[in-house]
Amino acid sequence: MTEYARVYGGSLYDLASEEKLTDAILEQMQEVKAIFRENPEYLKLLSEPSVKKEERTDLIEKAFGADAERYLVNFLKILCERNLLREYEGCTEEFTKRYNADHGIAEAVVTSAVELTEEKKKALKAKLEKVSGKTVSLVTKVNPAVVAGLKVEIEGTEIDGTVSGRLNEISKRLNDTIL
């Protein structure tokens, strides 16, 4: 994350906190992030220097003005005017990080070889909440390379219970022993 993202995302969070709009703006920021990811050409258009800034900010107003919080719409316009829309995802990350810290939420990224069932997700979430003492926001990823088991990353700690992780550890020990 860049310094721009930290500063701009943090500033929006401070404003949203003062106005008691953090929940609404966080949800809308995630929706805008998804829109930008699904429509990279739209983001490219909003960042195109050959298109006048006024036209680009008008596009933002037309796309989000009727549905999003005014602070978020103006935030997008500021990023657009300063040619910083490429920083939006980092701004969202900073906003989310600050939100989670203020609300006692820990994000856990869980990687497995196959998609976890809802029942397993619930059980894992409950276990992580018990261990961390925080509300856990669970993000799941599928990576067949892990072979079996789970890899969990939560608050800077990685717990690797995957077969591939164990095989790598055995391989490392063997190499250390041989060398």
pLDDT at 99: 95
Domain 105-178 in CATH 3.40.30:
yes
The answer for 7, left when phi > 0, alpha when psi is -120 to 50, beta otherwise, is: alpha
Q: What is the DSSP letter of 96?
A: H
Beta bridge partners of 47: none
pTM for the whole structure: 0.75
CA atoms within 13 A on the CB side of 32: 29
Which residue is listed with tokens 């070889």? Answer: 113
Q: Are 47 and 79 in contact (CB under 8 A)?
A: no
CA atoms within 13 A on the CB side of 35: 14
Q: What is the DSSP letter of 144?
A: G
Report residue 179's pLDDT band, with 50, 70 and 90 as the boundaries. low
The fold adopted by the segment(s) 3-100 is Peroxidase; domain 1 (1.10.520)
* Residue 55, SS3 per DSSP: helix
pLDDT, tens digit, 9 for 90 and up, residues 11-69: 999 999 999 999 999 999 999 999 999 999 998 999 998 999 999 999 999 999 999 99
Domain boundaries, the chain: 3-100, 105-178
User: What's the residue count for the chain?
Assistant: 179
pLDDT, tens digit, 9 for 90 and up, residues 73-125: 999 999 999 999 999 999 999 999 999 999 989 888 999 988 999 999 999 99
Q: What is the DSSP letter of 102?
A: H
